[in-house]
Structure 1
Amino acid sequence: MNKPYPAPVAPLPASDRDGPPPSAGTAAGPAPAGATAASPAPLPPHRLPVAAVVAALGSDAAHGLRQPEAERRLAAHGQNRLKSAPETPWWRRLAEQFQDFLVIILLVATVISGVEWLLQEPRESALPYEAIVIMAIVLLNALLGFVQEARAERSVRALMALAAPESTVVRDGERQRIPAHDIVPGDVLLVEAGDRIPADARVIEDANLRTDEAALTGESVPVVKDAAAIDHEVGLGDRRNMLYAGTTATYGRGRAVVVATGMGTEVGKIAELIEGAEKQATPLQKELDRTGKRLSIIMLVICGIVFATGLLKNPVTDLDAVLGLFLFAVALAVAAIPEALPAIVTVGLSLGVRRMAQSNAIVRKLPAVETLGAATVICSDKTGTLTRNEMTVRTVLTAGTVVDVSGSGYVPEGEFTIAGATLSGRPALEEAVVRTLRAAALVNDATLTMRDGRWRVQGDPTEGALVVAARKAGLTEATLATFPRIAEIPFTSERKRHATLHADPARPGILTLCVKGAPEVLLPRCREMFDGIDLVPLDDAGRAAVTAQNDALAAQALRTLAVATRTLRAETLGLDPTTVLAAAGGDIELPEDIEDDLVLLGLVGMIDPPRAEAKEAVATAKRAHIRTVMITGDHPATAEAIARELAIVEPGTRVVTGAALRRTSDAELDRIVDDVRVFARVDPDHKLRIVEALQRRGHIVAMTGDGINDAPALKTANIGVAMGITGTDVSKEAADMVLTDDNFASIVKAIEEGRGIFDNIRKYLVYLLSSNAGELLTMFAGVMFAGLLGLASANHGLFLPLLAAQLLWINLITDGPPALALGIDPKDADVMNRKPRARGAGVIGTADWVRIGAVGLVMMVGTLAVLDAYYPGGMITLFATEAAPNPADEAYARTMAFTTLMMFQLFNVFNARSGHRSAFVGLFANPWLIAAVAFSLAAQILVVYAPFMQAAFHTVGLGLGDWGVATAVGATLLVVMEIVKAGVRLRGVAEA
């Protein structure tokens, strides 16, 4: 059970702190446990100063908890999780396997059969074999269903663990990403726009931090947060210095110390009132449930006809005969009705989803697997998805000169050159480069560290590239630290710029504003330009010249950022020049016009090279008739250059900008959207319009996203794909699938896996339904046309082609191991050479139903032919030994029919693997299938030869020749279907 931070606040005991407890009477609260009842009531965290709350938790606002202490608290407090609904006991889940109506009838009939055996005088057998066998098979079926459901639940729980959200904390003085459920009281959270708040926390510091608390308080407007203590008691919605679990940061960033986790949070208190939610079936399961019910009605009608016909035709109508016929009819219904479809599909889906997780695609919602196979368009971001997301500064345009920067990736090694020559002897240009990169590194939240022998960037890759370039220019972290940050205006996708205000200790009272952002946004705000020596006016002609240079850089697939600055006195912001350094990290509201009248320092051009695997993935998607559309905020020239390199842009296709999109009506967008391959310089809300336009054109759309504003498009898309590395918690929550590597190739791989999963489900269904059809048609025709076939019982009663126990045995053995092995069949080699499955198309198509019917007819004809040939008095009687039937001959013929039908179904496993490919292609690609067939065959041999099984199933031993006949007749199914498949392949070639 999670233990919340004490409310009201009291210092933690010395054993639960990193440092010594504060003395009694400090701001942290009253004396520790053991104080007298007269002690004043301690205050809740929102009413205490930051230092008091941090001290009470035994934490450190700057360095966070030590890792060993965090682990100890996790063991003491429990994981940061809400209490889930109690798990259904295993015995109840096992009991649920016997709730099916037909199973209940079968159990009742079995009990009646046992009672009837007890009343027999004299008894026909030493034990009620039929009742025992049927009961045993029912129990085995129930156990199989129980194991399948337990396996599915374990898989789903494992997937939930894989998809667990992460949060950023400070531990041991370093930023770390950890699973949200490992957060403990005292952890210091780092919160940015788009993050899901994982626990209740007291704000330590903020930079224009706002949170959406609508889910908790109903407040529709984002709440502005600050670190100041509240000197009076207020309601939940007015606690501006508190962050609550389950809410979302919508703007700015901040730091907070965790005060409650799990059920101790405010949302945990609400969760106490909730007992649990019902599991929702996927659309696929619902469709299969509907299909199963329709088939059940049809098959029950057929079973009813068989039962009625049996009563009318049976000359013996005693209780034993009626009960035997009733058992047969119920067993036929149990064998024929696919009551396990939804459970088997859940197992198939969960196994497939786990394979997808191994391919870096975590499916959060099972229906996405079904939809993946139908995707026709992938709308992908560029940065980090189609490219490596390792931005590298290549050029610095400053003082009218393009300076090249060498080096690659995040290694801070490289030179600054012009046409291959160093900047030595050009001090003005060197100064311009240093000023530009210093400002770019100051207006920056990324950090460069060496970890495990590799340079890594913590933060945005673009900002990381600027830090690396600054380090190449000799601007170390210590150098930049001499310009402490006083305040900032964070970057947002709407503003497209980021501004920070810094103090200069060398010039008391003078503040420097550093701004970086899109050139088209910053250029209109610049009034002057630094030429390396002095400031010169920047008029419209100058802006046009810079814009032309920017376009030239973008045409080289470089992403450009403008860097500008402004110097102002502290008094203009109402700050005391003598204390301005003390305001570092504080909460200063900057005026809107502070970003005007800027001085342009230069442009920085960087490149994020395409992923090597992305080009191959785009080609694979194209072969699969899936269109790739790039949607990016980058410059159109940059986007088009990358898109051409990846072969996304083709002859006759278009590139559309966000500006053009704003002028385009929905009707016009619908008309052109099929011809567009690149949308560049788009706003986040444009993604939603693009998705809706593609959907109106009949496409199934997969859309990638990582920001807060991407959430509507991710929800609207048929498959929302969030970035696992760069994505915000909001985007992950809205998505159906999360990529753990942010790689476009993983999307295509997921679609391939999705198609394979769907194919395996279809294989299983075709196999199951065709095998059941063979059983049903054989029994129906055998009873209805027994007289025509010359099949009369040796006991002068109704002749049954197979007995109830034999039917149930076939159903158990064929619906078990072979069917489950089909669920892990390897993907077809041509799975990505086919068109996507039509939206709304059933799992079983018209061609599949024809296959099912054809297989059922072949099984019926072959099984009845063998039965007739081995039974005296039949039409064929090739193998009959007597002219008149006797019980031994009847058992012999029925054993042959029993074995032949089993062999038919074992051959049908291989036939069901594809509707067009030969069963001999990749015959041994699935060793589990070979093992499952071998197991079923061994089980049939045991039934035929083991004496106790012979008594239970009324079988007799067969000779080697008999097995040859059963195998040869069963193999005719494979021969017939191979001819049909050859015709399908020839027709496909002709149509192509």
Structure 2
Amino acid sequence: MNQPYAAPVAPLHAQEPGRAPPPELAATAAPPHRLPVDVVVAGLGSDAARGLTSAEAERRLAEYGPNQLKSAPETPWWRRLLEQFQDFLVIILLVATVISAVEWILEEPRESALPYEAIVIMAIVLLNALLGFIQEARAEKSVRALMALAAPESTVVRDGERQRIPAHLIVPGDVLLVEAGDRIPADARVIEDANLRTDEAALTGESVPVGKDAAAIDADVGLGDRKNMLFAGTTATYGRGRAVVVATAMGTEVGKIAELLEGAKKEATPLQKELDRTGKRLSIIMLAICAVVFATGLMKNPVTDLDAILSLFLFAVALAVAAIPEALPAIVTVGLSLGVRRMAASNAIVRKLPAVETLGAATVICSDKTGTLTRNEMTVRTVLAGGTAVDVGGSGYVPEGDFTVDGQPLAGRPDLTEAVERTLRAAALVNDAALVCRDGRWLVQGDPTEGALVVAARKAGLDEAALARLPRIAEIPFTSERKRHATLHADRDAPGTLTLCVKGAPEVLLPRCRQMFDGSRLVPLDDAGRAAVTAQNDGLASQALRTLAVATRTVQAATLGIDPAAAAAGRTGDIELPEDIEDELVLLGLVGMIDPPRTEAATAVATARTAHIRTVMITGDHPATAEAIARELAIVEPGTRVVTGAELRTMNEADLDAIVEDVRVFARVDPDHKLRIVEALQRRGHIVAMTGDGINDAPALKTANIGVAMGITGTDVSKEAADMVLTDDNFASIVKAIEEGRGIFDNIRKYLVYLLSSNAGELLTMFAGVMFAGLLGLASTNHGLFLPLLAAQLLWINLITDGPPALALGIDPKDADVMHRRPRRRGAGVIGGADWVRIAGVGSVMMVGTLAVLDAYYPGGLITLYATGTAPNPADEAMARTMAFTTLMMFQLFNVFNSRSTHRSAFAGFFDNPWLLGAVALSLAAQFLVIYAPFMQAAFQTVPLGFGDWMVATLVGASLLVVMEIVKLALRLRGGEAD
């Protein structure tokens, strides 16, 4: 158990205001930056080497709560429910309902035992509100789940082991391991550092990265001068370090600032903004039509008593409620959230919803090679030492494998064995990876390339004990600009002698080497020798092997001003290595590794090509290695080229624009080249998805239309800059995400076409029925004004057809040809010109069919009048209206299947969406209830229908499907893709 608090340290800036800290973390006057490291660690009851125990971390998490800033308070459920009644039309409908109920109360004598009209309209309004409430709650739940999936992670030491955990689980006392590119998750006191620097501009305004060290600062200084502290929300830009957490959540410095801020407002996505604009335009048009219908009804109605005016008013409001697509935002949110959850299940976490819209328009995927197109399980295959290539057996991270030369064991060649061990020893020393066996499986903690070197050294018998005699005392970290990593080691067997180990790109290290080993002899390395090594390196690279050069140098501790005894004991403090220490090196050898392509990557590249999406590989690897992998994955096509970073450096924007269309592989590139490539592709009109994992990839990720960060190897900075995070770092997941994005967009479009065409059918039917009632011979027995449908019937159709069937369209399976189409044109509206023509056509068919049935069943109608010449009565009017009511409902149910595709037959994949079939069955069952249940008949003024009547309504409704099947067949024969 950790020791209880005993030192005067004040870690509990972590506490929320008003919360008392636990006894072992009681705050005192001394802040952490003013105390020595060991005092701070002891005061936190932690251990600088082993961290907290898991049990203690759980206890503190329960005590302190998650390491998360407070967000705006969640809107209570009852308030969200009340918000469903804030729509202007709904309020008018409620007022009209109250007036209708009051009128029934005052009515003498009463025509019905209950105010059915008021009850029905109120019930439908409540059901609509409940449906909207459920949709919004579901969408909000989905978004919260996605936020949890996309939560950042941090590396800590617990139980003496390095662990990667979600940042919100960090507690005071946790020991953080920080590397360049990591987002600092909490305020922490530095324990040790290796040239660690952090960007604190967001917190302090400091424009340049701040160097960190572990020394106490015995002064009351500002945040910007607390160089032994790390602050939540800042970013490590260079080096690495270890620190103990002293503050979490609202107790951090950024938490104190957050206390002063109000909750941020949610930003609508471009799609939602577009739909909002569309909805408002439609609302204005439809409200105008409803006003015309209302005015026409008043002018045509010979009776203008309160009952007639109220009946017409209710009808006009109900028509507006039914016609205006007020459910658009909720349905779109549900569609987006369901689709994004499917993408998360496919290892692609969307951090920014606009990315879903952009995915369907992507034309180019710029992808890293290592870990994305390949397995990211580097394995050393060849060690070139002493001028001889030695093959290394085994695969993956299992430290088992034989060393052979031309198929013969290496054991019989002691000089070569020594050269190989010398090379692998240095490669394992200049290394930050660790090989661990967990649950019977060998894993690498750290960079896969460094892990491969550790595995190879272990195969050669160089375990941790063999390397311990050369403890690391200083280093110059690897950066993408330097392309090399150097570490300085003391030799416990030779006090005063220090060994520098360097690994890096061969073209970077070779110019710095002056000697090399030939067997056991040191020989000069001249230009001819470098050319020979370069040729050997090219030979390895042509086999798709990634190569690293390994070099060394011996220096005396005294020349660096280091006490030999302190160096041997590892007590050297911070050492600033001179820049020229990496010169005059001795080349030990080359190491050739392979990261095999993912088996699924080739299929994904082919799928992307079918979808008219270009795949471009951008890698820091050797051009020959990159091209070999690209050819294996069929990324390189005839007529395309490979361009190197060196070539890019000589190109201006015009030159790059001229060749970028023909390039499929960019090799040996610098991070800033990614940004130039993205901008060049965008200038050529492409929608670019760009992958990245490093801190230097952030500008390219932000600039790309879709920034894709790696979830496993990616830094926190790259994840925050990205629109999407891959949890498996797999290229196939990007292609799958694009497929899902296209499917999501299709389903939203399906719903919109269905909703607007169905609403158009309702609106046109009601408009024509009122405007041309006299021409059609439709005269009501009640007040003389004939309404094709009653207000309650209109609202009912809107409820049962715009509800379950429309929602089921949102989870319709993707069309089989979704990845055979060209990308959607960026900026194109969700509803195109052809869609509006289709909507108007479908609405017109519904209008003609519904009014024809109404007229045929109405004795005074144009068709029936010529046949019988009889006068209407209330029973005939109820029968005709019930038939029109049912026919319009059947039209809309058939329209659901028609709306699944704009060119594919409705019968193709008919049973692929069981939810849709269930929703249609539910709507039919509800319609049966309205027609045959006595209490529903009284409420909706319907009468029972016979089998023949149902056949008429069904056949007329099915005529829409017949007409649209003919249109779709014509489209398919013409080769058009309306989708």
Identify the match of residue 201 of structure 1 among 149, 171, 188: 188
SS at match of 2:975: helix
Q: Which residue of 2 aligns with 1:888?
A: 875
Q: Distance in 2 between matches of 1:325 and 1:428?
A: 103
AA aligned to 1:521 is: V
Contact 2:11 2:246 in 1 (8 A): no
Within the candidate set 751, 762, 771, 1:764 is matched to 751
Q: How far 1:989 moved relative to its partner? A: 7.3
Q: What amino acid does structure 2 have at the position aligned with 1:850?
A: V
TM-superposed CA distance for 1:425, in Å, is: 2.9
* Identical columns (%): 85
Q: Secondary structure at the match of 2:564?
A: coil
Give the match's secondary structure for 2:565.
coil
Q: Tell me which amino acid in the other structure corresponds to 2:596.
A: P
> Which residues of 2 match residues 220-231 of structure 1 at below 5 A?
220-231=207-218
Could you tell me how far 1:533 is from its partner in structure 2? 1.3
Question: 2 CA distance for matches of 1:580 and 1:613?
Answer: 50
| Structure 1 gaps, min length 5 | 1-16
- Preserved CA contact (<8 Å) 1:152 1:350: yes
- After superposition, the C-alpha distances for 1:204-241 in whole angstroms (9 at most, x for unaligned) are 00000000001110111100000000111111110000
Do the aligned partners of 2:378 and 2:451 also contact (CA within 8 Å) in 1?
Answer: yes
1:969 to 948, 953, 956: 956
Instruction: Determine if contact 1:869/1:880 at 8 Å carries over to the other structure.
Output: no
Task: Specify the alignment match of 2:899 in structure 1.
Answer: 912
Confirm or deny: 8 A CA contact 1:205 1:586 kept in the other structure. no
User: Which residue identity is paired with 2:793?
Assistant: Q
Cα displacement (A) at 1:20: 4.8
Per-residue deviation at 1:103?
1.0
Secondary structure of 1:124's counterpart equals coil
What's 1:948 paired with?
935
Distance in 2, Cα, partners of 1:888 & 1:990:
49
Q: CA deviation at 1:919?
A: 0.6
Q: What letter is aligned with 2:897?
A: F
- Residue 196 of structure 2 contacts residue 238 of structure 2 at CA under 8 Å; is this kept in 1? yes
Q: Deviations over 1:620-674 (max 9, x none)?
A: 0000000000000000000000000000000001110001011111011111111
Partner of 2:697: 710
2:130 is matched with 143
The residue aligned with 2:342 is 355
Superposed CA offset, 1:328-354 (max 9, x none)? 111101100001111210110001000
TM-superposed CA distance for 1:581, in Å, is: 2.3
Q: Deviations over 1:795-848 (max 9, x none)?
A: 351101001110001001111100000001111111101111000000011221
Deviates more, 1:973-982 or 1:113-122: 113-122
Matched, 1:429 2:413: no
Q: Note if contact 1:27-1:52 (Cα within 8 Å) is conserved in structure 2.
A: no
Q: Does the 8 A contact of 2:971 with 2:977 survive in 1?
A: no
2:2 corresponds to: 18
Q: Deviations over 1:181-219 (max 9, x none)?
A: 000000000000000000000000000000000111011
Please tell me the residue identity of whatever aligns with 1:286. K
Question: Counterpart of 2:17?
Answer: none
Paired residues of 1:871 and 1:879 also in contact (CA < 8 A): no
Deviations 1:297-317 (A, max 9, x none): 111111111111111111111
Matches within 5 A, 1:46-195: 46-195=33-182
How far residue 584 of structure 1 moved from its aligned partner, in angstroms, is 4.9
* TM-fit CA distance, 1:146: 0.9
Contact 1:872 1:880 in 2 (8 A): no
Matching residue of 1:698: 685
2:431 & 2:712 partners in 1: Cα distance?
19
- Bigger CA drift: 674-683 or 540-549? 540-549
Does residue 664 of structure 1 match 2:636? no
Q: Which residue, 549, 555, 567 being the options, matches 1:562?
A: 549
Q: What corresponds to 1:295 in structure 2?
A: 282
TM-score using structure 2 length: 0.97
Identify which of 601, 611, 629 aligns with 1:642. Answer: 629
Superposed CA deviations along residues 440-497 of structure 1, whole A, max 9, x for unmatched, are 0000000111111111101000000000110111101111112100100000000000
Does structure 2 retain, via aligned residues, the 8 Å contact 1:50–1:229?
Answer: yes
Deviations along 1:376-398, whole A, 9 cap, x unmatched?
00000000000000001111111
The whole-number CA distance in structure 1 between the counterparts of 2:292 and 2:27 is 84
Distance 1:40 1:324, change over 3 A: closer
Alpha-carbon distance change, 21 to 126 in structure 1, aligned in 2, over 3 angstroms = closer
Corresponding position of 2:16? none
1:41, 1:99 → 2: CA distance?
52
Q: What is the alpha-carbon distance in structure 2 between the residues aligned to residue 549 and residue 847 of structure 1? A: 62
TM superposition shift of 1:40: 13
1:403 CA drift (Å): 1.1
Give the whole-Å Cα distance in 1 for the aligned partners of 2:21 and 2:507: 62
Name the residue aligned to 1:346. Answer: 333
- The aligned residue for residue 725 of structure 2 is 738
In 1, distance between residues paired with 2:866 and 2:99?
37
Tell me: CA distance 1:40–1:962, structure 2 relative to 1, closer, same or farther (3 Å): closer
Structure 1 position 442 matched with structure 2 position 425: no
TM-score (norm 1): 0.96
The correspondence for 1:809, drawn from 777, 789, 796, is: 796
Residue equivalent to 1:721: 708
1:939 to 905, 923, 926: 926
Inter-CA distance 96–21: structure 2 relative to 1 (3 Å threshold): closer
Correspondences of 1:28-43 after superposition (within 5 Å): 42-43=29-30
Equivalent position to 1:530, from 513, 517, 526: 517
Match of 1:307 in 2: 294
CA contact (8 A) 2:9 2:32 kept: no
Q: Find the residue that maps to 1:578 and give its secondary structure.
A: helix
CA distance in 2, matches of 1:716, 1:51: 45
8 Å CA contact 1:208, 1:224 repeated in 2: yes
Q: CA deviation at 1:882?
A: 7.3
Who is 1:4 aligned against? none
Does the CA contact (< 8 Å) of 1:356 and 1:750 recur in 2?
yes
Deviations 1:111-152 (A, max 9, x none): 111112222221221111111111111111111111111111
What is the alpha-carbon distance in structure 2 between the residues aligned to residue 587 and residue 962 of structure 1? 92
Q: CA deviation at 1:33?
A: 11
- Label 1:650 to 1:879 Cα distance change in 2 as closer, same or farther (>3 A): farther
- SS of 2:863's equivalent in the other structure is coil
| Cα distance in 2 for residues equivalent to 1:291 and 1:562 | 61
Counterpart of 2:967 in structure 1 is 980
1:474 partner SS: coil
Could you say which residue in structure 2 is the equivalent of 1:868? 855
Residue among 659, 677, 685 paired with 2:672? 685
Q: After TM superposition, what 4+ stretches of structure 1 lie above 4 angstroms from structure 2?
A: 24-29, 32-35, 878-882
Matched, 1:238 2:261: no
Q: CA separation in 2, counterparts of 1:586 and 1:451?
A: 34
Following TM superposition, by how much is the alpha carbon of 1:418 offset from its aligned partner in structure 2, in angstroms?
1.3
Cα offsets for 1:681-716 (capped at 9, x unmatched): 000000001001111111110000000000000000
Question: What is the match of residue 622 of structure 1?
Answer: 609
1: CA distance, partners of 2:572 / 2:866: 97
Aligned to 1:876, the other structure's residue is in SS state: helix
Q: Which moved more, 1:658-667 or 1:874-883?
A: 874-883
Whether contact under 8 Å (1:375, 1:701) holds in the other structure is yes
- d(CA) in 2 for partners of 1:450 and 1:565? 30
Aligned amino acid, residue 744 of structure 1: F
- Matched with 2:381 is 394
- Distance in 1 (CA, whole Å) between partners of 2:152 and 2:455 is 29
Give the partner amino acid of 1:972. Answer: S
Q: Deviations over 1:534-562 (max 9, x none)?
A: 21111111111111111111111110000
For 1:657, the aligned partner's letter is: T
Report the residue type matching 1:19 in the other structure: Q
Change beyond 3 A, Cα 1:469–1:875: same
C-alpha contact (below 8 Å) 2:657/2:680 kept by paired residues: yes
Counterpart code for 2:259? E
